[in-house]
Structure 1
């Protein structure tokens, strides 16, 4: 009996030693399972931010995907409880600290997540909900303030500059210190040459520099493999239409090349297989007012999606100053005579 008990005890001690070894040298073996995004979403904002930040600091490979989903969930719910704004604001504070990190992986992760926050909030720039618009501006102002601060550091300079350019494209009034300017409050059509892009270009040398950075970002986005990236980039192109044309006609070599990339890409995306991409491209063509896109728009008049037909017709009216309705033959005649 004693020998059996001794054998069991020895096995127990051996197992305990193995466990202690794993905990000492392989911490992941003893760690509790990381909370999934849905669990984090239900947490107190400060705690969720702390866990995400810790995962980024430890370069946890699952941190990026979890943070992306969490940002999306809170952004969609921004018109609800204030805890959603609290989470996004807290995350902005923590991510901004990583932007100047000497660890490239942490810095790149922070920039990617801050860019996602900016794009998510930018989607509310023209929202009919004043609450969503104001909360989105609140988050954007926080991001911009941090980027101006950390952007003084050499390691963070380029990242901060790219993020600021995006913010100014969505909410140029923030750059001018006007939270509720007439143009923001009235939310004019994005195709107007004197709307947000005009304000961006008319605010001095710094804003002009930001607009050129933004054109570069858009030029890369419209040819990105991700459909969402192409779509959001075209939406941004609608906002900075005047800046794109100024770069195309009067800019230096690089800005002109970026602007041309945008125009060529939008023309090509008019024939994309994804209906949501064709719809966005049709609207963007009307904002950019490039007559070379007329043929693609005319083809869209026979698109099976009614919303795409209407968007194409609206853009053709802007391009031509005429209204031939859905008559493709008349539009083709106009295009031929014009060229």
Structure 2
């Protein structure tokens, strides 16, 4: 039985990923700090459900705390590492940038140092579509330059890509960075639009619609994202042999076993259409409070997922209508509304 270390295991994506890995027969060590960025009760409930499985072990520690990860690697020597733990949220990074520095940069450094000492077969680290920043040519492709991040959150995630590349080059650590696009679904984060909109609509309160509704997002259903991560575990990057070039369309580094892969639905959906899907699922109309775009936000995202498909044969496919309906059904059941 192979062991997978998942950081951020009690988070939204982490919960679904750990559930999938346990189902597939892995032993899973879940590391999570259980921070109060949003309602800790959601994280506690996710973790409680994971602990029902005999092959899941929970470790509640901060990744940036010195020696936490080194000790864990020394004790468990994980075969795979999937690094999801991070301080999330574009707008919050304007208010509390230090938490992003500590969790995203220092935490990733601690992880890379532990992997250097006890190398796993493959490391998969979460980045974000926000790394594309000010890019306007879409759909976003992994080989595009991504030099102009629009928020400190995005800047820290882009920095972790470079940090991981340097360790992959220097120490031969196989690393896949995955950039995910607006992930949503049941058990989602309360600070995300779907959760906030659904809650407000069911409580007969107006919703804040930024950029006056002129926003587009590549909404990706959480189980589609997890399927992509699971399949990428087996697509271990290898440093190109001397004299060999990088295949066309591949983001593989020419000097390291490192690549970055988009995981998105390959569809850019208008925010107004997303809201209409929530209205249909709830059976209620939303009162819309139109507002200007917020600092750090980008007006649109759209993934080219061709590399994911060429590496794994898979492409996300859940429609916004189906995904939103599943979320609203979960929300009503969980909160009894």
**TM-score after normalising by structure 2:** 0.33
Tell which has more relative contact order, 1 or 2 (C-alpha 8 A, sep 6+): 2
**Where is the strand percentage greater, Structure 1 or Structure 2?**
2
**Where is the helix percentage greater, Structure 1 or Structure 2?**
1
